[in-house]
Amino acid sequence: MADGSLSKNVSASATRLRREATFVFSGRVEREASSSLSFIPSSPGTAVVRVERIYHAPPDLTDQRGQDVTVLLADGSPPQQGDRRLVFFTDPVAYGETMGVREIGRIDEPEQSDALEDLVARVTSEMNEEEIREHLASADAVIHGRVTERHQAHDGSRRFSEHDPDWWIARVEVIRSFKGGLEGTIDVRYPNSRDVRWYLVPKPDEGQEAIFVLHRDGQRVGDATLALRHPNDLIPAEPDDLDRHARLV
């Protein structure tokens, strides 16, 4: 059998469904054709499921074990109430008294549940690496560097407009270049604004050592033509991260 003691069919189904789902859990149907959310009406296409084991969840959903969730069922036969444990592959769609999720698919929970958890973790790791590889491919330069100083990119007399990025400059000493052939000290532009458009973009600190994923966006502020533009453009320079990025670039 594949993946430890999982059958090939279970392994293939779980792999495909994990790639489409963000919240994967097992549980029993508590109530058929029912809802635990006041704004989602009960229907043959809904069921209330008690979360018994979480196989994968975003950080803000790891506390859902033991909670009831309303499942908006995928097309096909609805699961029946009872002792049968199922693994639901879902996406969260609603929050209220409880949580509502849209079902992408489901499988019977195998006896080899630890093997299924290992499989889900491995697929998740592969997805993360694919996302990193795509992001690095879109970058103009990727470096391991250290911030030696930072300052505002203008003299403060300029009038700000709505969603203005408030560009700042970080002077970065290049320790290692993964992409772009940079060396020495470079200027990196970043938006210091906390506006909704920019607040997730990293704001490097003086003395910080990190992996910088840099982009040319057609702008030049001072000597800075390379900029941080995305939430994942600044990555801690842990040994494992350095090795992984060297391999993925």
Q: Do 8-127 and 139-154+164-248 have matching folds?
A: yes
The contacts of residue 16 (CB under 8 Å, 6+ apart) are 105
Whether the per-residue pLDDT at 154 is higher than 90: the answer is no
- pLDDT value, residue 2: 46
Where does 8-127 sit in CATH, by number? 2.40.50.120
Could you report the per-residue pLDDT of 182-206, keeping only the tens digit for each? 999 999 999 999 898 899 999 999 9
- pLDDT value, residue 160: 59
- pLDDT value, residue 174: 97
- pLDDT value, residue 236: 85
Whether the per-residue pLDDT at 82 is higher than 90: the answer is no
Domain ranges for the chain, please list them: 8-127, 139-154+164-248
Average pLDDT score over residue span 89-117: 95
- Report the C-alpha gap between 71 and 106 in whole angstroms: 11
153-162, long-range: CB within 8 Å, 24+ apart, which pairs? 153/189, 153/221, 153/222, 153/224, 154/221, 162/195
Which pair of tokens denotes residue 15? 């792999």
In this structure, CATH architecture of domain 139-154+164-248: Beta Barrel (2.40)
Confidence of residue 246 (pLDDT cuts 50, 70, 90): confident
The contacts of residue 160 (CB under 8 Å, 6+ apart) are 166
Could you report the per-residue pLDDT of 220-245, keeping only the tens digit for each? 988 899 999 999 999 988 877 778 77
- pLDDT value, residue 244: 76
Residues of the chain above pLDDT 70, percent: 95
Average pLDDT score over residue span 93-104: 94
- pLDDT value, residue 205: 95
Give the global pTM: 0.78
- pLDDT value, residue 249: 81
- pLDDT value, residue 159: 54
Whether the per-residue pLDDT at 63 is higher than 60: the answer is yes
Q: What is the mean pLDDT of the chain?
A: 91
Whether the per-residue pLDDT at 208 is higher than 80: the answer is yes
Could you report the per-residue pLDDT of 5-58, keeping only the tens digit for each? 899 999 999 999 999 999 999 999 999 999 999 999 999 999 999 999 999 999
